[in-house]
Structure 1
Amino acid sequence: MTDHTPYIADPPRRVPSAEELRARIPGWGSDLDPADRPSVPKLSREAGAATGVHWDLPTQQPGAEGRERSVEHAHVTPVFGTAQPLQGVAGAVRRVAYARFSEGRLAHWLLLVLGDRIDVATHRVSDALRGRPDRVVRETGVRAEVTGHPVASRVRSSRRDWRHGLLDPVVANWGWLAAVGGAVLVVRRIARVRRGR
């Protein structure tokens, strides 16, 4: 029986020396000496001038005033995106998330998710008003769920996400469900008013 058997409760742990490792493994420790490391000149502060860098902190991109940033940070990052500016109700919700709550707070992320959902609902309504409504059945995969063995593909597998499959249609289509529910309430109210006459 050797002294390196894995079946004893507390096997002895002997750390080999650098010389033993170098003798046993070809090339081991080749980067220990900074003179042998090609990355050392690039990483050294003195060699920074050779790369052409002439700043300690990059110049701030214009338009940083009023930009949303986490409360943990003193200022906006030197470069930031401007392709999707915050606007409307969704933008107001996102601004509250950045202005009031730290990234470590659940409220910060829930408000960002809420802003995203409001943005999606707003775009769906505006697209429908422009005559280009979403194709709900095709785009949400409802047809594939019906024809693709939805129960068997989840229950007879080792997938862990099958439990929230029942909620996925609600999460993806809550805007449409709310719109249909609102339309039903309006129709019922009108019907009641007409019956009351």
Structure 2
Amino acid sequence: MTETATPYVADKRIARRSAEDLRAQIPGWGADLDPADRPSYPREQPGIETGARWEFPERQPEKWPRERSVEHAMLPPVFGTSTPPAGVSGAIRKYAYKYSEGRAAHWLLLVAADRVDAWEHHLKSLATMRPDNPVTETGVLSEVRRGGLSSRVGQKRADVNHQWMDPIVVAGPWVLAGLGAVAAVRALRKHGTT
């Protein structure tokens, strides 16, 4: 018996399979059916006051088309609105929601969108009068002022294994961007003099 994939809906009506059928098909199914095996059982008994008062909250208005999980029929009643998807990173995020949350493609696209978003903001900062400052924002000065070397030597820290590449990862893109800017200025000067 196979079920078609449908979005999750709280009051979805499907025929329930028997406990014996589930136990035969899924190893370990029903291990918590006996109340003695469930640590939360005393709280599940009727009449015990938990203090929980929950009703479905008023739905938040949707000001732009939100990303929607294919597993759910509707958005949750409340959702974040601080950063609407924009630019290339927003397009990648919207595309990620074409995949199920159970697929690696969904999550890898969201991680890629975060990296693209970071680069978009770095490029925007270069166009302003106050670009990002990688020296102060990465905490590299505290390495010198706060005993960075002594905190690493003989401490069995996990980050010691990759600390040699941290300056390359942090400073590398900035160096490349600076070299690109110098090359662009030289090209413009050369083009302007001919």
The interval holding the TM-score normalised by the smaller chain is: 0.5 to 0.7
Cα 1:158–1:52 change in 2 (3 A) is closer
Q: Offset of 1:88 from its aligned partner?
A: 1.0
Q: For structure 2, list consecutive stretches of 5 or more residues without a partner in the other structure.
A: 1-35, 37-41
The separation in 2 between residues aligned to 1:151 and 1:52, in whole angstroms, is 52
Equivalent AA in structure 2 for residue 38 of structure 1? E
| Aligned-partner SS, 1:163 | helix
Q: Deviation at 1:140?
A: 0.9
Question: 2:49 maps to what in 1?
Answer: 38
Cα displacement (A) at 1:150: 4.5
| Structure 1 contact 97–112 (Cα < 8 Å) conserved | yes
Instruction: Quote the residue 2:96 is aligned against.
Output: 97
- 2:99 aligned with 1:88, yes or no? no
TM-score, with normalisation over the residues of structure 2? Answer: 0.58
Q: Helix, strand or coil for the counterpart of 2:155?
A: coil
**Structure having the higher Rg:** 1
Q: Which residue matches 1:130?
A: 128
Q: How many Å separate the matches in 2 of 1:123 and 1:105?
A: 28
Does the CA-based 8 Å contact 1:64-1:76 persist in structure 2? no
1:109 matched to which residue of 2? 107
Deviates more, 1:153-162 or 1:174-183: 174-183
Cα offset, 1:138, TM superposition: 1.0
Which of structures 1 and 2 has the larger relative contact order (alpha carbons within 8 angstroms, sep 6+)? 2
> TM-score, length-normalised on structure 1?
0.57
| Distance in 1 separating the partners of 2:166 and 2:176 | 15
Q: Report how far residue 132 of structure 1 moved.
A: 0.9
Letter of the 1:158 counterpart = K
The equivalent of 2:166 in structure 1 is 168
Q: Deviations over 1:20-50 (max 9, x none)?
A: xxxxxxxxxxx589577333xx67xxxxxxx
2:49 counterpart letter in structure 1 = P
Deviations along 1:76-132, whole A, 9 cap, x unmatched?
Answer: 212212121111111111111122x33233332232222222222222222232201
- Give the aligned partner of residue 116 of structure 2: 118
Percent identity, aligned pairs only, is 44
- Paired residues in the alignment total 151
Q: Show the counterpart of 1:75.
A: 74
Task: Note the 1:141-152 alignment, pairs <5 A.
Answer: 141-146=139-144, 150-152=148-150
CA distance in structure 2 between the partners assigned to 1:107 and 1:52 by the alignment: 35
Alpha-carbon distance in 2 for matches of 1:71, 1:33 = 32
Give unpaired runs (5+ residues) of structure 1. 1-17, 19-30, 44-50
- Residues 174 and 69 of structure 1: is their aligned pair in 2 closer, same or farther, counting only changes over 3 Å? farther
* Bigger share in helix: 1
